[in-house]
Structure 1
Amino acid sequence: MPVTKTDTSSESLSHAELELLQPGKTPGVPGAPIGSIAFQLNPKELTMTKSASWKAEKQKKASSAPPATYQGPEAQKLSVEMFFDDTRGGGGESVVARVEKLFSACVPTEESRQGERPSAPWVRFKWGVLAGFVGYVKSVSAKYTLFSPTGTPLRAVCTVALEEIAEEPGKQNPTSGGLRPRRMHTIREGDSLAAIAYREYGNPALWRQVAEVNGIDDPMRLAPGSPVFLPAAEELAGRPARDVVRAEVARVIR
């Protein structure tokens, strides 16, 4: 599929959002999308943190630094500010309603309440080519900075902290024969496999592997609302045969 370079000056403005997902039954694999929380104004900056766990070994003799053993990666974290302003009116959602929607992301979903393990919705930060990890809202801090004469909040700054949800253990080795989906993307109007491959892997040429993994025979006809599973890049490089991949994707869906 040929990819042409576009003039970024003519591209439409992309709005950041927090995609809300139904909690998944498999670690790291979310359920269906259940909504989103849009940024009224795109963020000026965001902070992403990734760290590793190390354990220092005790030793009898003193030294400048004791030996340490790598314990594994820790959950990735993202912190971003959301600005809400209703000073011009406009008839949209009020500042309070927007803040309450953020707070509700810390409350169990109705569907999860009916099961054995209630859970708040899973979330994913999305903005243009940025598609963050699947995680949960760790905390929301709202600061109202402007009020109307009647005491109605007109402006707020919210600090939102997200934390990654760990994937299923035992599926980390791409040579073990199991496909470990990193995340699921829901097709939207205007999507193409090349664009999805570029956003996820930084290489639009991987659209063929994405199509093969998902059993897509005609990449020019993508149905909006349908899911596309996106495995880790190293798994695409050493992917198993097509029938094995399809069987594994079917297992994940169940």
Structure 2
Amino acid sequence: MARKVGTSLVKARLAIMEPPAAVGAKPGGKLATVAFQFNPGTLALAKSTEWRRKPSRMADQASLPEFVGSGPRTLSVEVFLDATATHDNSVEEGVEKLMTACVPTQKSIQRKKPASPWVRFEWGTARSVSFDGVVSNLSVAYALFDVDGKPLRATCSVSIEEAGVGKPGQNPTSGSREARRTHRVVVGDSLPQLAWREYGDATAWRVIAEANDIDDPMVLMPGAELLVPAIQSSEPVR
């Protein structure tokens, strides 16, 4: 689905992060941040499902579909670069920074498990379009050139495929202490408030604090991403 986005004073950005060192782990440190010169006018978010259907021998009937699984979210966004609006001589540096999201990192090569970085599109408090993923496609169209051939304007089309998934058989409502989801902190958030929204019990904030090594439940950094473990309904909160 495509959503038209209005003008915002908050600038969008693309965080490029070291890929996880192990399956199920969080992405590593931030390698680079691509700040958008201009906020995107349109974001395209898609999610697919897969169904299996056996052919029916009856010509006028169709067999019932069998649900196979749900595919990852995909986000398509355009990054417009314009060197004429800045003091840069070319847009090539910005394009090269985006290209780093498509090649294996040095650390992953050293671990003998080559993997390209994980990325996350970030724009204010937007949550549906902000998730850990990998770049599945990047295309660049140059539109303006200097007299010496340097590209001055470029439109970069980026497709991000969701990669941050939990361990098999686990989800935030499975009742397992190990199941978890993430929450991005906004201004005014506190752990008791988050615990009330997630568990219906504000005193359960210690569960989130322990999962994120937080000492003060009332002081949270806006923009930080917190792990929110699921807890069994029968488990007493200490």
State the TM bucket, normalised to the shorter chain: 0.7 to 0.9
Count how many residue pairs are aligned between Structure 1 and Structure 2: 221
1:44 aligned onto 2:41? yes
Counterpart of 2:122 in structure 1 is 126
Q: Residues 180, 33 of structure 1: CA spacing in aligned structure 2 closer, same or farther, 3 A cutoff?
A: farther
Structure 1 stretch displaced more, 215-224 or 55-64: 215-224
Counterpart of 1:140 in structure 2 is 138
Match among 94, 103, 110 for residue 114 of structure 1: 110
Counterpart of 1:98 in structure 2 is 94
Q: Is the 8 A contact 1:29 1:183 kept in 2?
A: no
Deviation at 1:172, TM superposition (A): 2.7
Amino acid at match of 1:149: V
Deviation at 1:210, TM superposition (A): 5.7
Q: Residues 71, 184 of structure 1: CA spacing in aligned structure 2 closer, same or farther, 3 A cutoff?
A: same
1:214 aligned onto 2:209? yes
Structure with higher RCO (Cα < 8 A, 6+ apart): 1
Amino acid at match of 2:150: T
Gaps of 5+ in 1: 1-11, 244-254
Q: Is the 8 A contact 1:107 1:119 kept in 2?
A: yes
Counterpart of 2:54 in structure 1 is 57
Match among 74, 78, 86 for residue 77 of structure 1: 74
Write the distance in 1 (CA, Å) between the matches of 2:183 and 2:30: 10
Deviation at 1:31, TM superposition (A): 2.6
Please give the residue correspondences for 1:1-254 in structure 2 after superposition, counting only pairs within 5 Å.
13-24=9-20, 25-27=22-24, 29-91=26-88, 94-131=90-127, 132-165=130-163, 166-172=165-171, 174-183=173-182, 192-194=188-190, 208=202, 212-215=207-210, 216-222=214-220, 228-231=226-229, 235=230, 238=233, 240-241=235-236
Deviation at 1:21, TM superposition (A): 2.0
Q: Residues 45, 211 of structure 1: CA spacing in aligned structure 2 closer, same or farther, 3 A cutoff?
A: farther
Describe the superposition over 1:145-203 as per-residue Cα deviations: whole angstroms up to 9, x where unpaired.
Answer: 01111111111001000101143212137344233233475x7xx855359x88xx9x6
Q: Residues 14, 238 of structure 1: CA spacing in aligned structure 2 closer, same or farther, 3 A cutoff?
A: farther
Write the distance in 2 (CA, Å) between the matches of 1:124 and 1:151: 32
Amino acid at match of 1:170: G
Write the distance in 2 (CA, Å) between the matches of 1:181 and 1:119: 24
Write the distance in 2 (CA, Å) between the matches of 1:175 and 1:117: 31
Describe the superposition over 1:92-117 as per-residue Cα deviations: whole angstroms up to 9, x where unpaired.
Answer: x8411101111110111111111131
Deviation at 1:221, TM superposition (A): 3.3
Gaps of 5+ in 2: 1-7
Deviation at 1:82, TM superposition (A): 0.6
CA RMSD of aligned residues (A): 3.5
Q: Secondary structure of 1:98's match?
A: helix
Structure 1 stretch displaced more, 113-122 or 220-229: 220-229
Counterpart of 2:5 in structure 1 is none
Q: Residues 125, 179 of structure 1: CA spacing in aligned structure 2 closer, same or farther, 3 A cutoff?
A: same
Q: Residues 17, 237 of structure 1: CA spacing in aligned structure 2 closer, same or farther, 3 A cutoff?
A: farther
Q: Residues 178, 15 of structure 1: CA spacing in aligned structure 2 closer, same or farther, 3 A cutoff?
A: same
